[in-house]
A = this chain, B = another copy of it.
């Protein structure tokens, strides 16, 4: 099944060439945002947030407004037609007739792809459950380009919950496409990076190393990507309290780091970065939030200008098999056609990328 549009569902659907175009435009915008203040005059962006995320929603809204465009949308499914039981395909169809571009956040995996099946304008995935969040990865890359001047030749630390963090998975997949990057994966064994992401790193020709201690690893890093560890991920409160400090970045640990370390965090943080780090010139996580607006401005411009039909689903239903992932959008929206691609002989759901067992 095709879409009439080029959507941003998964960064890895796009060639690296496309990333570079967006990032280069992002850099230009970051240098002179005012120059783009009429770029989207007369255009409407709809932000459909089935799951609240003020930060991401405001970042997109600010981006569109900085381009001279306007915004509609909702941030709370309980005050939307959703409460009347409308299916995703109808909402996508209708709202896409009101707007020129849709930004969607949803708690089910594969929801943005599902919406793209009927939408009459391009869609940007602003997070579909624990699955993908491509504009965060673009943000991370633009920040690296601004701060380090490159996205390759880096020793990249990733610290915290590497198992459940979609931003970490996306970033690994993206940065392993650039030459000579090395990944230092810092987490407990229980929260280590999934095997399939490690396979991608290796397949892309990069190396990785797994360590269990931030303090020991920090000295060799060009960049450290901190993420939140949720208390509930640990076997007990006790284990959590014993371990959390090991994965918390504070002034002491920072003393052992390089002078040009770049500290990133997708935000919001809780306590995995101590407040006394905020004033350090290497703390780039607030700048990162600002660059998130510039890269979204670039993305919106690029998507509104460069449109052609794309393939969304291969359309193989594999004899009526069903995706088994309970968080897959096909579980919620029953009318969606099952669709699988073969990966090493095993069918993989084209919405949520989960493999059948």
Which residues of A are at the interface with B, using a C-beta cutoff of 8 A? 34, 37, 42, 44, 46, 52-55, 58-59, 61-62, 65-66, 70, 72-76, 78-86, 89-91, 93-95, 97-99, 267-270, 275, 286, 289-290, 293, 335
Contact = CB atoms under 8 A, between A and B. Distances in A.
B95 A58 contact: yes
A72 to B, nearest CB: 5
B65 A267 contact: no
A256 B236 CA distance: 65
A290 B84 CA distance: 20
B80 A289 contact: no
Given A91-B268, A98-B293, 20 more contacts: A37-B42, A44-B62, A46-B58, A52-B78, A52-B79, A54-B80, A54-B81, A58-B72, A62-B72, A62-B98, A62-B99, A76-B79, A85-B268, A86-B268, A89-B275, A90-B269, A93-B289, A94-B289, A97-B286, A98-B290
Nearest to A289: B94
Contacts of A58: 46, 72-74, 95, 98
Q: What are the 9 A-B residue pairs with the smallest beta carbon separation, nearest first? A: A86-B268, A54-B80, A62-B98, A52-B79, A97-B290, A65-B70, A94-B289, A54-B81, A76-B79
A90 B293 contact: no
A78 to B, nearest CB: 8
